[in-house]
A = this chain, B = another copy of it.
Amino acid sequence: MTRVLVVEDDPQLVRALVINMQARRYGVDAAPDGATALRLAAARQPDVVMLDLGLPDMDGVDVIRALRGRTRVPILVLSARQASEEKAAALDAGADDYITKPFSMDELLARLRAAVRRTEDVPLVPGTTLVETDGFTIDLLARKAVRAGRDVRLTPTEWHLLEILVTNPGRLVTQQHLLREVWGVSQRDRTNYLRVHMAQLRRKLEADPSHPRYLITEPGTGYRFEG
C-alpha cells in the first residue's frame, strides 16, 4: 500500500483529501504543522508527501529543505500562491511538483500517481547490514562502527555521510548528491562541508588519514567508498 503524508492545516481540506485517497486504497497520515510533519515523515516513512506551504509554525520551503535533508521521498506542494517566484523557490528547494489551489481532485490524484510511478521505477538496492573492510566494520542496522576492536563514535553528520558512501560500495557519489542528502542544499558552493566532515571520518576510520584507502576523493566530482 502506498503511504501518503498530508501536511495541511485546514481540517476541511484534510478531510476531503483523506476521504478521496483512502477510497483509492492509499494509506494516509496527516500533520497539521511542519514540526509534526517532520516527525511523522521520520516515523512513518511515507511514499509521498503532500505539503501545504502555508503552515502555522514553519515556512513551507524550510519544511521541504528539512525533508530533503533526510529523504528523497517525492514532495507535492499545494499552495494558494500563484507567483512564479514561489513556485521556483519550492521546486528548487527540492519539491517535485507544485499545484495551486483551488485544484481538482482528479488532477491532484493524477499528479500523485505520476510521482509514485516515478519512484516505483527505481529498484531499491537490497540492503546488507554489515560492511567489513580490513580496517574497520560498519553495522548499518546497529548504527555502529568498529575499528581495531574498539567502537568508534560518529556524529550524526559523519554517520549520514558514511552511510551513503558505504551503501554504494565502489560507486562514485557526486558532491551534489551528498550535499543534497546530508545537508539538503543543492548549491555547489558548499563543498567545504564535505571536505571538513570527510576529513573527520578519515581521521576516525582510516589507518593513515592523509593517505586514505577506503574513503577516496575523486577530484572535481565526489567521493567513493572502496570495499
Contacts and interface: CB of A to CB of B under 8 A. Distances in A.
Interface of A: 72, 84-85, 87-88, 91-92, 94-98, 104, 106-107, 109-111, 113-114, 117-118, 120-122, 141-144, 155-156, 159, 170-172, 174, 176-177, 180, 186, 218-221
Given A84-B107, A107-B88, A156-B221, A96 B114 contact: yes
Stoichiometry (number of copies):
2
A84 B220 CA distance: 45
Contact of A155 (B104, B114, B219): B219
A156 B186 CA distance: 20
A46 to B, nearest CB: 17
B91 A110 contact: yes
B117 A118 contact: no
B143 A172 contact: yes
A94 B121 CA distance: 12
Given A110-B87, A219-B155, A117 B186 contact: yes
Contacts of A96: 114, 118
Contact of A88 (B95, B110, B122, B220): B110
30 contacts: A84-B104, A84-B106, A84-B107, A84-B110, A87-B106, A87-B110, A87-B111, A88-B106, A88-B110, A91-B113, A92-B113, A92-B114, A95-B114, A96-B114, A96-B118, A97-B97, A117-B186, A121-B180, A122-B122, A141-B171, A142-B170, A142-B171, A142-B172, A143-B171, A143-B218, A143-B221, A144-B170, A144-B172, A156-B219, A159-B221
